[in-house]
Structure 1
């Protein structure tokens, strides 16, 4: 049996996209991947991300928003940046960690814009659902799509 691949999903605040990616990876690929998520900063766990993941049968309610520095003792095989800011500010990772950028839209920003236009809470949640499903589709391609 080969060793599991350590994968880190990195986002700005570790509140939404990276949390969804960690949740999906543990749910769908936990047999071959050890999934983690972190942020350049911590913004707390987004309750709408928790809600839409729960709708899909994945419970991320026990996740916490964590800083990248909390994982200094873990060797990552691959780091996936899921937002532009994290990709642009992604630190150097020792060893041979492969850094891959797979950007996803920012649901909180999209929902805020919709709210300002008078959209209902349900319409705002659709932003989260769409990104949740895009992240799931990406995770389903792992680890083969990483070229490891």
Structure 2
């Protein structure tokens, strides 16, 4: 599997970003190519090497470098470690995703304790980053599923159907017909497409068929729907109002005539 590329950025590239580079390489060097740079680079603080050596973390190849020396590279991730670097580097770095992690500069304090604190905080943040990136990564064998999923979201009716079902957990054809103000044949056709793409699954209760998100829908797909819903609540607000106007919602079967 091709390695992802990641760049840590801080102002001086003399402490925080060097600690992050060495630590991330130890934790996930098999999956990521890891770099660091500074917007105004300075020599590496000797305490960086002391702290890394005490933790048995390799400091091999660590050196301070200017962000401009990497402006021809495109990274999968760029992570800024101070607000100043984030403000000044956004237009300089080429990356698919730019994340902002803000850590206090340990150089301002005497001794190595502040460096140890930053290293511990970086370790926790990197663990969460790796858990998230691995959980929601689309694997090569899932690529066809990903294409089907995003094609489904490209249609207005299907996207709203998925968001409504996610919000309500389960809906039948008549509820979607009322909420979306569409004909039953059209809603049924879209539901069939979503079911064939393994995005929805159905449950028969008496004469009624209810639809919900598929139990085996990948985590990354669920996260896409969650983020879409949380950041675009107005998209289905009117549809939810129409759904609520149907009457006594708990009497689901009685509404589906």
Alignment correspondent of 2:179: none
1:45 maps to 2:44: yes
**TM-score under structure 1 length normalisation:** 0.82
Question: Which one is further off, 17-26 or 137-146?
Answer: 137-146
- Structure 2 residue matching 1:128: 3-state secondary structure: helix
Q: What's the C-alpha RMSD, in Å, of the aligned pairs?
A: 1.8
Higher relative contact order (CA 8 A, sep 6+): 1
Measured after TM superposition, the shift of residue 61 of structure 1 is: 5.5
The aligned runs of 1:41-120 (5 Å cut-off) are 41-60=40-59, 62-92=61-91, 93-94=93-94, 97-109=96-108, 111=109, 115=110
- Structure 2 residue matching 1:80: 3-state secondary structure: strand
Cα deviation 1:76-102 (Å, max 9, x = unaligned)? 0111000111012123234x5211001
Q: Whole-Å Cα distance in 1 between the matches of residues 89 and 71 of structure 2?
A: 14
- Structure 2 residue matching 1:141: 3-state secondary structure: helix
Larger CA Rg, structure 1 vs 2: 2
Structure 2: segments with no counterpart, 5+ residues: 138-257
Q: Whole-Å Cα distance in 2 between the matches of residues 143 and 7 of structure 1?
A: 12
Cα deviation 1:45-85 (Å, max 9, x = unaligned)? 11011111111111226411000111123210111000111
Q: Whole-Å Cα distance in 1 between the matches of residues 54 and 127 of structure 2?
A: 18
User: Between Structure 1 and Structure 2, which shows a larger proportion of helix residues?
Assistant: 2
Q: Whole-Å Cα distance in 2 between the matches of residues 64 and 134 of structure 1?
A: 22
Alignment correspondent of 1:135: 122
**TM-score under structure 2 length normalisation:** 0.49
Query: Is the 8 Å Cα contact of residues 12 and 39 (structure 1) preserved in structure 2?
Result: yes
Alignment correspondent of 1:126: 113
Aligned residues: 134
Cα deviation 1:80-135 (Å, max 9, x = unaligned)? 000111012123234x52110011111011x1xxx5xxxxxxxx311111111111
Alignment correspondent of 1:22: 21
Structure 1: segments with no counterpart, 5+ residues: 116-123
